[in-house]
Structure 1
Amino acid sequence: MVEIFPDPVRKEWNKWELRGLVIVSLFVQISLIFSGNRRKYIAKRRIRIFIWCAYLLADWVATVALGLLVDRQGNSTSSSYSNKEYGDLTLMAFWAPFLLLHLGGPDTITAYALADNELWLRHLLGLVVQAAAAIYITLLAWEGTLLSFLTIPMLLCGIIKYGERTWVLMSANRDQFRDSVLKDKDPGPSYANFMEEFCLKEAEGYNVTAAQVEEGHSPGYEFENTAGTPSTLDPDARRILHIADYFFETLKFKRLFVDLILGFHPRDESQDFFEKQDCNTAFEVIEVELGFAYDVFYTKAPVIYTPLGLFSRLMTSCITLTVLLTFATSIGVKSHKHQLIDVVVTYILLIGAMLLEAYAVRSLILSDWANLWFSHNSSKIPLFVGRLVSSIQSIEKGKRWSNSIYHYSLLDFCLNQKSSGFHKVSRFIPLHNKLYNLWEKLGSFRQLKHVSVSPELKAFIFKHFREKSTDTELDLKMLFTCRGTVSLQSHKSYGVFKWAVDVEFDHSILIWHIATDLCYNLNKTKRGRHSDPDSSEQECDHHMIFSKKLADYMLYILVMCPFMLPIGIGIIRFRDTCAEAMVFFEERSITSKLEAYEMLGQVNTKVFPSTVKGDRSKSVLFEACKLAASLNEIGDPRKMWRMVADVWVEILGYAASQCRGFDHAQQLEKGGELLTHVWLLMAHLGITEHFKINEGHGRVKLAVT
Structure 2
Amino acid sequence: MKLNLRVAILASLALQAFLIFFAPVRKRRSNWWITTPLWSAYLVSDSVALYAFGLISKAQINGGTSDSPVDASGHLLAFWAPFLLLHLGGPFTITAFSLEDNELWGRHLLNLSIHLVSACYVFYQSLSGNKLIVPSILMFIGGSIKYIARTRALYLASFRMLRDSLLPSPDPGPNYAKIMEGCIAQEEANIQPLIAPWQSHHVGAEGEKFLDDRTVIKEAFFYFKKFKGLLVDLIFSFHDRDHSMQFFNSRTAKDAFRVIEVELNFFYDLLYTKSAIVHCPSGYIYRAISVGCIVAAFASFHVLNKHGFHEYDVQITYTLLLGAIGLEFAILGMVICSDWTIAKIGTSEKHGRSLFIGSIFIKFLLKFKSESSPFALRILSARWSKSVSQYNLIDSRLRRWPKWIDKLIDARLRKWPRWIEEPLSLIPLRELFDDLKSGWVEPYNDKLGELIFDELKQKASIANDLQSIKEMCAARGKWALEHTKTGEDCEMLLPFICDVDYDDSLLLWHIATELCYNTDTDESTNDHRETSKILSDYMLYLMIKQPGMMSALAGIGQIRFQDTCAETDRFFDDKLSDNDHICLRKSPFCSYRSEAC
Q: TM-score range by the shorter chain?
A: 0.7 to 0.9
Paired position in structure 1 for 2:443: 452
Partner residue in 2 for 1:490: 483
What is the CA deviation profile of residues 352-376 of structure 1, one whole-angstrom value per residue up to 9, with x for unaligned ones? 0000110011001110111122334
Counterparts in 2 of 1:277 and 1:135: CA distance versus 1, 3 Å = same
1:17 CA drift (Å) = 0.2
* Aligned equivalent of 2:496: 500
Which of 518, 521, 524 is the equivalent residue of 2:518? 521
CA contact (8 A) 1:518 1:601 kept: no
1:399 pairs with 2:382: yes
Contact 1:220 1:269 in 2 (8 A): no
Q: Matched residues in 1 for 2:34 and 2:428: separation?
A: 22
Tell me the residue number matched to 2:224: 248
| Alignment pair present for 1:148 and 2:133 | yes
Asked if the contact 1:62–1:99 (Cα under 8 Å) also holds between the matched residues in 2, the reply is yes
1:70-469 matches, cutoff 5 A: 70-76=57-63, 82-84=66-68, 88-186=73-171, 216-224=197-205, 236-249=212-225, 252-331=226-305, 335-377=306-348, 379-380=353-354, 386=361, 396=377, 398-419=381-402, 422-423=405-406, 425=408, 435=425, 438-446=428-436, 447-469=438-460
Measure, in 2, the Cα distance between the counterparts of 1:292 and 1:93.
39
| Equivalent in the alignment of 2:181 | none
Alignment partners' CA distance in 2, 1:363 and 1:538: 47
Residue number among 17, 33, 36 corresponding to 2:4 in the alignment = 17
**C-alpha deviation, 1:224, in angstroms:** 3.5
What amino acid maps onto 1:489 in structure 2?
Answer: E
Q: Deviations over 1:424-457 (max 9, x none)?
A: 6479889799959934322331211122222110
Deviation at 1:421, TM superposition (A): 5.3
- Letter of the aligned partner of 1:131 in structure 2? L
Residue in 1 aligned with 2:26? 39
- The residue identity in structure 2 corresponding to 1:500 is F
8 A contact 1:83–1:89 mirrored in 2: no
Task: Give yes or no for contact 1:110–1:168 (8 Å, CA) kept in 2.
Answer: yes
Structure 1: distance between partners of 2:441 and 2:68: 55
Greater Cα shift, 370-379 or 459-468: 370-379
Per mean C-alpha deviation after superposition, the further-off stretch among 364-373 and 441-450 is: 441-450
Compared with structure 1, are the counterparts of its residues 31 and 451 closer, same or farther at alpha carbon in structure 2 (3 Å cutoff)?
A: same
Cα distance in 1 for residues equivalent to 2:392 and 2:357: 56
1:171 to 1:539, Cα distance in 2 relative to 1, 3 A: farther
Q: Post-superposition shift, 1:37?
A: 1.8
Distance of 2:102 and 2:464 partners within structure 1: 44
TM, length-normalised to structure 1? 0.71
Q: What residue ranges of structure 1 are gaps of 5+ in the alignment?
A: 1-13, 195-213, 228-233, 528-536, 604-624, 626-705
Task: Give the Cα separation in 2 of the matches to 1:84 and 1:472.
Answer: 77
8 Å contact from structure 1 (residues 26, 102) kept in 2: yes
Q: Distance in 2 between matches of 1:390 and 1:438?
A: 44
Report if the CA contact (8 A) 1:417-1:423 is conserved: no
- Which secondary structure does the structure 2 equivalent of 1:407 belong to? strand
Q: Following the alignment from structure 1 to structure 2, what is the Cα–Cα distance between the partners of residues 472 and 150?
A: 64
Q: Aligned equivalents of 1:596 and 1:370: distance in 2?
A: 49
What is the alpha-carbon distance in structure 1 between the residues aligned to residue 359 and residue 220 of structure 2?
28
**Cα pair 2:20 2:91 within 8 Å, conserved:** yes
Identical positions, percent? 35
Distance in 2, matches of 1:354 and 1:430, equals 52
Q: Which residue of 511, 515, 524 corresponds with 1:538?
A: 524
Q: After the TM superposition, which of the residue ranges 306-315 and 476-485 deviates more from structure 2?
A: 476-485
Please state if 1:478 is matched with 2:471: yes
Which position in structure 1 is the counterpart of 2:183? none
The amino acid of 1:369's aligned partner reads W
State whether structure 2 residue 556 is matched by structure 1 residue 586: no
**Cα deviation per residue 1:583-641 (whole Å; 9 max; x = unaligned)?**
333333341226986479646xxxxxxxxxxxxxxxxxxxxx7xxxxxxxxxxxxxxxx
CA distance in structure 1 between the aligned counterparts of 2:316 and 2:588, rounded to whole angstroms: 65
Q: Distance in 2 between matches of 1:579 and 1:336?
A: 74
Residue 84 of structure 2 aligns with an amino acid whose one-letter code is L
**Distance in 2 between residues matched to 1:392 and 1:581, nearest whole Å:** 51
Partner letter of residue 66 of structure 2?
Answer: S
What is the alpha-carbon distance in structure 1 between the residues aligned to residue 241 and residue 300 of structure 2? 58
Evaluate the alpha carbon distance shift between residue 486 and residue 85 of structure 1 in structure 2; reply closer, same or farther with a 3 A threshold. Answer: farther
CA distance in 2 between counterparts of 1:390 and 1:546 reads 31
Q: SS state of the match for residue 95, structure 2? A: coil
CA distance 1:435–1:350, shift in 2 (3 Å): closer
Q: Which residue of 1 aligns with 2:417?
A: none
Structure 1 window deviating more from structure 2 (367-376 vs 236-245): it is 367-376
- For residue 260 of structure 1, report the CA deviation from its aligned partner: 1.1
Deviates most, 113-122 or 217-226:
217-226
The residue number in structure 2 matching 1:512 is 509
Superposed, 1:665-704 pairs within 5 Å as none
Distance 1:402 1:343 in 2: 43
- Report the Cα offset of residue 215 of structure 1: 5.6
The number of residues matched between the two structures is 545
Q: For residues 473 and 253 of structure 1, what CA distance do their matches in structure 2 show? A: 20
For the 8 Å contact 2:134–2:300, the answer to whether it is kept is no
C-alpha separation in 1, matches of 2:540 and 2:591: 22
Q: Is the partner of 2:389 in helix, strand or coil?
A: strand
Could you say what secondary structure the match of 2:442 adopts? Answer: strand
Deviations 1:650-681 (A, max 9, x none): xxxxxxxxxxxxxxxxxxxxxxxxxxxxxxxx
Report which of the two structures shows the higher radius of gyration computed on alpha carbons.
1
**Matches of 1:83 and 1:367 in 2, distance apart?**
47
Q: Which has the higher contact order (CA 8 A, sep 6+)?
A: 1
Whether the 8 Å CA contact 2:79–2:136 is kept in 1: the answer is: yes
CA contact (8 A) 1:320 1:354 kept: yes
- C-alpha separation between the residues in 1 aligned to 2:364 and 2:217? 20
Structure 2 portions without partners, runs of 5+: 179-194, 415-420
C-alpha spacing 1:36/1:507, structure 2 compared with 1 (3 Å): same
Q: Which amino acid aligns with 1:507?
A: D
SS in 1 for 2:92: coil
Answer whether contact 1:226 1:242 (CA < 8 A) is retained.
no
- For residues 44-95 of structure 1, give each alpha carbon's deviation from its aligned partner in whole angstroms, at most 9, with x where no partner exists: 3322112111111111101111111111101107xxx524499923212101
**Is 294-303 or 215-224 further displaced after alignment?**
215-224
Q: Which residue of 2 aligns with 1:629?
A: none
Taking the aligned partners of 2:81 and 2:248, their CA distance within structure 1 comes to 53
CA distance in 1, matches of 2:565, 2:133: 68
Cα pair distance change 1:373/1:216, threshold 3 Å: closer
Q: Distance in 2 between matches of 1:427 and 1:74?
A: 53
Q: Secondary structure at the match of 1:260?
A: coil
Distance (whole Å) between structure 2 residues aligned to residue 595 and residue 241 of structure 1: 43
- CA–CA distance in structure 2, aligned partners of residues 282 and 389 of structure 1: 22
Q: Is the 8 A contact 1:247 1:253 kept in 2?
A: yes
Contact 1:585/1:596, CA 8 A, preserved across alignment: no
Distance in 1 separating the partners of 2:207 and 2:329: 31
Q: Which amino acid aligns with 1:355?
A: G
| Aligned partners of 2:92 and 2:275 also within 8 Å | yes
> For 2:308, what is the secondary structure of its paired residue?
coil
1:294/1:595 CA distance change after superposition, 3 Å:
closer
Residues 435, 129 of structure 1: CA spacing in aligned structure 2 closer, same or farther, 3 A cutoff? closer
**Contact 1:92–1:342, Cα closer than 8 Å, also in 2:** no
Q: Quick one: structure 1 residues 596 and 172, their matched pair in 2 at CA, closer, same or farther if it must change by over 3 Å?
A: closer
Inter-CA distance 23–423: structure 2 relative to 1 (3 Å threshold): same
Once residues 46 and 407 of structure 1 are traced to their aligned partners in structure 2, the CA distance between those partners, rounded to angstroms, is 17
Closer/same/farther in 2, CA of residues 338 and 596 from structure 1, 3 Å limit:
closer
